[in-house]
Amino acid sequence: MRIACEKEIGRQRYRLYKEQEAIGQAEISGGQLTGLEVAADWRGRGYGSYLLKEVLRANGGFDTAAETCFTTALPDPDNRPAWALAKRFGFVRQGDRLCRHHLPDLTAVRLVQNLLASLLQPGGLYIDATCGNGHDTLFLCGLAGPQGHVLGLDIQPMAVQATNTLLAQNGMEHVGQAILADHRELLRFAAAGSADCVMFNFGWLPGAPHEVHSQAEASLEAVRAALEALKPGGVLSAVLYSGKVIGRSEKTAVLDYLEHLPLTRYTVLVCRFANWADTAPLPCLVIKRPAIC
């Protein structure tokens, strides 16, 4: 069984083949799904479900990080299999159409990004202290805007290269840059009291061996340096991890340090997902309070 796709500008046609025989077809254009059909002799065997799933997948319908919306015409009232198929894949009736609206999953990283976007203003200095593959760095470039500056740090050359490539692909190379450096040394690149935001996404580099990951002692040094680099009103964010490979030492040490920061100087938020596993990522924010005169 295979699916062939014919692409035109703004439109894709899909055909489902069983060996050499075309047994189903579908078309999608601008999020509108039309013409999904399975040959009569092949109905009731799951082929329509398979075809719809693959069409949605090919157009980002199962992307956990993206918002998608698909619409299609209402089936005939008596076409119970079509209604059941639509329900199975999350289509609901909206007026004279069926609509499947998928919102991005809320992850620890996305929650931190949403909070930072509500707290920070364009311009200024933003630091991604663990730039990894560059997605947080790119996010910070969007916050900083053309008048701001974003610096990404990582000790792995492949992470620095991936980040700079991503920034260039998105036209952000004039706003942000990643360099090969230890996050403990960020005060070499940002004077005390100069940074609007410092982001940490601890753990390991996605796509790299999991045995290479951040460690408690180095992470604590980096957090201390970041707090010194923040200007009054600046924000530090940290996503902490634990698990079979990484253990709990880093998560426990950083969390304990943050929870004991003096209230007169810092506001600390720990955003625990109460119904997730105990090993789930833990988002934390620290807001540096203005000095009391």
Distance CA 158, CA 134 (A): 11
> Cα-atom radius of gyration of the chain, to the nearest Å?
24
Distance CA 31, CA 27 (A): 10
Tokens for 73, please give them. 């015409």
Tokens for 44, please give them. 């009731």
pLDDT one-digit tens code per residue, 208-257: 554 545 677 889 999 999 999 999 999 999 999 887 667 788 899 999 99
The pLDDT confidence band at residue 111, using thresholds 50, 70 and 90, is very high
Average pLDDT of the residues in 89-108: 91
The answer to whether residues 74 and 98 touch, using CB atoms and an 8 Å cutoff, is yes
Distance CA 176, CA 57 (A): 32
The answer to whether residues 157 and 193 touch, using CB atoms and an 8 Å cutoff, is no
Q: pTM to 2 decimals?
A: 0.75
> In the predicted model, is pLDDT for residue 115 greater than 90?
yes
Q: Taking the CA atoms of 77, 82, 87 and 93 in sequence, report the sign of the dihedral they define.
A: negative
pLDDT one-digit tens code per residue, 192-221: 999 999 999 987 556 555 454 567 788 999
